[in-house]
Amino acid sequence: MTNYEDLTEEERDMAEAMIIKANERNVLVNQNLFAVAKARCKLGLDITVCPCHKHDIDRGCISAKCYREIQETGRCSCNCFEK
């Protein structure tokens, strides 16, 4: 399991940006957020691109599509944001 302490500065910045997005939409984050932040940086993806669905332009951290998914299923498909 990836922890905050295991992240590079770039990965920490990404994780913090994801937490800010979660707070803006009033959703929770879980431990998987750090692994997703790490993957985003490794793949060179910004916060507007979902690393699990990078070809779906309507998906990104807490996009309308992902937010709807969180509300309907309790979590996003990347399993880092939840109700």
Q: Is the pLDDT of residue 25 over 90?
A: yes
Q: For 27-79, what is each residue's pLDDT tens digit? A: 999 989 999 999 999 999 989 888 888 889 898 888 999 999 999 999 999 99
pTM: 0.89
Q: Give dist(CA 33, CA 78) in Å, integer.
A: 9
Query: Which residues touch 60 (CB under 8 Å, ≥6 apart)?
Result: 47, 48, 49, 50, 66
